[in-house]
Chains A and B, each alone.
Chain A
Amino acid sequence: MFKSFATLLALVSALTLSSCTSGEPNPNASETLQQKDSLVLYSGRSEELVQPLIEMFEQESGITVEVRYAGSAELAAQLLEEGENSPADVFFSQDAGALGAVSKAGLFSTIPSELTSQVDKQYSATDGSWVGVSGRARILVYNTAKVSDLPVSVFDLAKPEWKNRIAIAPTNASFQSFVTAMRVVEGEAATTSWLEAMKSNAVIFEKNDAILNAVEQGVVDAGLINHYYWFAKAKEIGKDKMKSKLAAFESNDLGNLVNVAGAGIISDNSASRAFVDFLLSNKAQTFFAEQTAEYPLVAGIDIVEGLTPLTDVRNPKVDLSDLDTLDETLELIRAAGLI
Chain B
Amino acid sequence: MLMQIKDLSLNYGDQVVLNNLNLDVNQGELTAVLGASGAGKSTLLRLIAGFESPTSGEIFIDSKLVSDSKDVVAPEKRGVGIVPQDSALFSHLTVSQNIGFGLPKGSDARINELLNLVGLSEYADRKPASLSGGQAQRVALARALAPRPKLILLDEPFSALDAELRARLREDVRRVLRAENATAILVTHDQEEALSLADRVAILRDGKIIQSGSPTEIYNSPVDLGIATFLGDSILVDGHVEDGKIITALGKITPLNKVSEGQVGVAAIRSENFYLQPNPSGDSEVIGRVFFGHDAVVEVQTPKLKIRARSNGPFAPEVGMKVTVWVRGAVNFYPSS
A and B directly contacting (CB within 8 A): no
Chain B contact residues, CB within 8 Å of chain A: none
